[in-house]
Homo-oligomer: A and B are copies of this chain.
Amino acid sequence: MEIKIVRDVLEANDQLAESIRKRLNRAGVRMFNIMSSPGSGKTTLLEKLIPILRGRGLRIGVIEGDITTTRDAERIQPLDIPVAQINTEPFGGDCHLGAEVIWPALDQLGIEQLDLVLIENVGNLVCPAEFDTGAHANLVILSVTEGEDKPLKYPLMFRVCQLAVIHKTDLLPYLDVDPERIETHIRQIRPEMTVLRASSKSGSGLTAIADWLIAFKGND
């Protein structure tokens, strides 16, 4: 009984996510959903990536998802681009962004004026993977400080993503972590995954991420 209800929620979400993708396609907008553990550096990555993407002539909007606070949105605001903050607390402290909160956030952003929407999902390697946001592709950010085994322990997250970013590589000299092994574990779960390494602190690898986002075509 209980499982049936969850399935209905997921089915309803998937239908709305499809409508979101159609809406984005009509407007000529690409949307990417960025997921990770808490503290993997998603917001810092956005702070560094957005100026690069803007330099390529793209008009960008950001949807920030958090249970509570507008801290991440406030960090994006100085970049002077449209930001919509979703707090899932009024919805019961949801651990993910569902399509039902993305739809009104797109209204807030005004997608007619945009080329690209980046979603920063709630920091969580479990639940966000289960809910299609309507994005064209999913990204997972994995900080090297999280160790080598996360792809094996959170396989669904890696199964639903098209790009994995191994982040905070500037910290590798101080850790007993081998990025090769992280990459091997990612490919055990999803052999066709694009894996990029980056450090938002040093700037290394950021243009490769921008290139990937711009080149991404996927299925409309």
Interface residues of A (CB under 8 A from B): 2-3, 5-6, 9, 37-39, 66-69, 71, 92-93, 95, 122-127, 130, 143, 145-147, 149-150, 152-156, 168, 170-171, 174-175
Contact A71 B38 (CB under 8 A): no
Q: Which residues of B contact A2 (CB under 8 A)?
A: 5, 9
Q: How far is B45's CA from A147's CA once the two chains are assembled, in angstroms?
A: 14
The 4 closest A-B pairs by CB, nearest first: A39-B146, A95-B126, A145-B145, A37-B38
Q: Which residues of B contact A69 (CB under 8 A)?
A: 149, 152-153
Contact B174 A125 (CB under 8 A): no
- Say how many copies of this protein the assembly contains: 2
Residue of B nearest to A125 (CB): B38
| A48 smallest CB distance to B (angstroms) | 14
Q: 11 A–B contact pairs at CB < 8 A? A: A5-B5, A37-B38, A37-B39, A37-B146, A38-B153, A39-B147, A69-B152, A69-B153, A93-B130, A95-B126, A95-B127
Q: How far is B93's CA from A124's CA once the two chains are assembled, in angstroms?
A: 13
Contact B38 A154 (CB under 8 A): yes
Residue of B nearest to A41 (CB): B147
Q: Which residues of B contact A66 (CB under 8 A)?
A: 153
Q: Which residues of B contact A145 (CB under 8 A)?
A: 39, 143, 145, 168, 171
Contact A67 B127 (CB under 8 A): no
Identify A150's interface contact among B39, B122, B146, CB under 8 A.
Answer: B39
Identify A123's interface contact among B68, B125, B152, CB under 8 A.
Answer: B125
Q: Which residues of B contact A156 (CB under 8 A)?
A: 67, 93
Q: How far is B123's CA from A38's CA once the two chains are assembled, in angstroms?
A: 10
Interface hub of A37, A38, A67, A175 (most chain B Cβ within 10 A): A38
Contact B126 A125 (CB under 8 A): no
Residue of B nearest to A152 (CB): B69
Q: Which residues of B contact A126 (CB under 8 A)?
A: 67, 93, 95, 122, 124, 127
Q: How far is B2's CA from A37's CA once the two chains are assembled, in angstroms?
A: 27
